[in-house]
A and B are shown apart, each in its own frame.
Chain A
Amino acid sequence: MSDSFNLEIVNPEKLFLSLDNVSEVVVPAFEGDMGILKDHISIISFLKPGIVKVFTSNEVKELYVEDGIIEFSENSLSILTSRIIDIKEIKKDDLSSMINEANEALKDENIDDQKRFLANQKIDVLNRFN
């Protein structure tokens, strides 16, 4: 227990996941993947589409997030995200519809660089499961 900290993942609908024995979390932060261990400095950052990896003593969970904010303080990590799916439960139909969504977003000509980057990132990540 000594090397573990708390993790809470919430989406607008509910508390998605709450664990108190997490040893490491790797999050796809906007400026690059970030690994968080116990006693990390307090940090606020936001996420790009990607995979959140949660390491507990006996398993590794992989979750797809579309966006979100993380806050780490006093050994508890909160991840707020609008869409999160466990990779094991991801379905082919959902995948293709999400990829279509991103492609639609890319078609918009007035899209700014950041949005284009995020949409491309989303397609990249999702294609890995296909």
Chain B
Amino acid sequence: MASLDDLKKRITSVKSTQKITKAMKMVAAAKLRKAQESAEKGRPYSDKMHNIILNLSKNINDKENVPKLLAGSGKDNVHLCVVMTSDRGLCGGFNSNITKKAKSYFKKILDSGKELKIVIVGSKGFDQLKRAYKEHIIENISFKESKNVNYFDADKVGKMIIEKFEKGEFDVCTIFFNKFKNVITQIPQEQQIIPLKSENSDDKNDVMNYEFEPEEDEILNNLLPKNISTQIFKAMLENSASEQGSRMSAMDNATRNAGEMVEKLTIEYNRSRQAAITKELIEIISGAESL
């Protein structure tokens, strides 16, 4: 059994760890509120954008001249995956969940003999993926310097993707991020952004007739790049809320575990102290008896 001094030292060390995790939990909780707020505030923009594009694409009569960003390049050979992760660790399974989802997708792509290219946002995801997929990673972007998620960072990523698309470097682009559901649950998502998937476009039959100025395709050409940036921005917002939520619950667990450990160690400490006292007493008594 460890000596009394050792036990005492361990108890203090666990207690100070508990203090740190508790503080991190508080910080994450405060940041979470802010991140959640901005994720919710950002939704109207991306929803509206989505609606307008939906309306526009329904109104396009000339199916031949659909912009490539909407219809794709007609091929399905090279896949670009944008994996959005965090720049900081200690947030539970946040990054692993995304990379797990991404890895299973990578496997599918590689198994079907297609080419894979990976862009990673955030340094933690890079750390996790660099060993297995080093030769596929073409870019690693990190926004450590920006305090809050902002649109201009997302725009940078979006512009880079579009540039690569226009150069014909890939055919299909998918982004991976964590969707924030609540503090305990974050759902890893994959979302295809190029070509744009018009999900449930059939169930809305009330096509409105819009006047367009300038022509539809010109508006679409202008709008689609913006939509990509917007989708990335939305993913970044969801991600930052998820990161804080995940960190908060991870730190909450850590604090609780530390508490349990302190309890266990304290009991052990008390027992061994009592054992030492009893031993001393027995020694004194038996010493007195033998006289």
Q: Which of A's residues lie within 8 Å of B, judged by CB?
A: 8, 10-15, 29-31, 34, 41-46, 67, 69, 71, 73, 78, 80, 82
**Residues from chain B with Cβ under 8 Å of A43 in the complex:** 210-213
Return the contact of B219 from the options A15, A42, A45, A73 (Cβ within 8 A).
A45
If the complex has contacts A31-B214, A69-B52, are A44 and B219 also in contact, measured as CB distance less than 8 A?
A: yes
**Which residue of A has the minimal Cβ distance to B154?**
A12
Is B233 located at the chain interface by the 8 A CB criterion?
yes
A10 touches B44 (CB 8 A): yes
**Residues from chain A with Cβ under 8 Å of B49 in the complex:** 69, 80
B213 touches A31 (CB 8 A): yes
CA distance A11 to B150 in the complex (A): 11
CA distance A8 to B52 in the complex (A): 14
**Residues from chain A with Cβ under 8 Å of B31 in the complex:** none
A73 touches B208 (CB 8 A): yes
Given contacts A12-B151, A15-B41, 17 further A-B contacts (CB under 8 A): A10-B44, A12-B46, A12-B233, A13-B150, A13-B151, A14-B38, A14-B42, A15-B44, A30-B213, A30-B214, A41-B211, A42-B210, A43-B210, A44-B52, A44-B210, A71-B48, A73-B210
**Residues from chain A with Cβ under 8 Å of B133 in the complex:** none
**Residues from chain A with Cβ under 8 Å of B48 in the complex:** 10, 71, 78, 80
Q: How many A-B residue pairs have CB under 8 A?
A: 75
The listed residue with most A CB atoms (<10 A of its CB), out of B42, B45, B209, B211, is B45
Interface of B is mostly: helix
Q: Which of B's residues lie within 8 Å of A, judged by CB?
A: 38, 41-42, 44-46, 48-49, 51-52, 55-56, 150-151, 154-155, 208-214, 219, 222-223, 226, 230, 233
A-B pairs, 9 with minimum CB distance: A14-B41, A12-B151, A43-B211, A45-B213, A10-B45, A42-B210, A10-B44, A44-B210, A12-B45
Q: List 24 A-B contacts (CB under 8 A).
A: A10-B44, A12-B151, A12-B233, A13-B38, A13-B42, A14-B38, A14-B41, A14-B42, A30-B213, A34-B213, A41-B211, A42-B211, A43-B213, A44-B55, A44-B211, A44-B212, A44-B219, A45-B213, A45-B214, A67-B226, A69-B52, A71-B52, A71-B210, A80-B52
B222 touches A42 (CB 8 A): no
A29 touches B213 (CB 8 A): yes
* Shortest CB distance B15–A (Å): 41
If the complex has contacts A12-B233, A46-B219, are A80 and B211 also in contact, measured as CB distance less than 8 A?
A: no
B212 touches A82 (CB 8 A): no
**Residues from chain B with Cβ under 8 Å of A71 in the complex:** 48, 51-52, 55, 210
Interface of A is mostly: strand
CA distance A45 to B222 in the complex (A): 10
**Which residue of A has the minimal Cβ distance to B40?**
A14
* Shortest CB distance B286–A (Å): 79
* Shortest CB distance A20–B (Å): 16
**Residues from chain A with Cβ under 8 Å of B210 in the complex:** 42-44, 71, 73
A11 touches B45 (CB 8 A): yes
CA distance A15 to B223 in the complex (A): 19
**Which residue of A has the minimal Cβ distance to B211?**
A43
CA distance A15 to B208 in the complex (A): 24
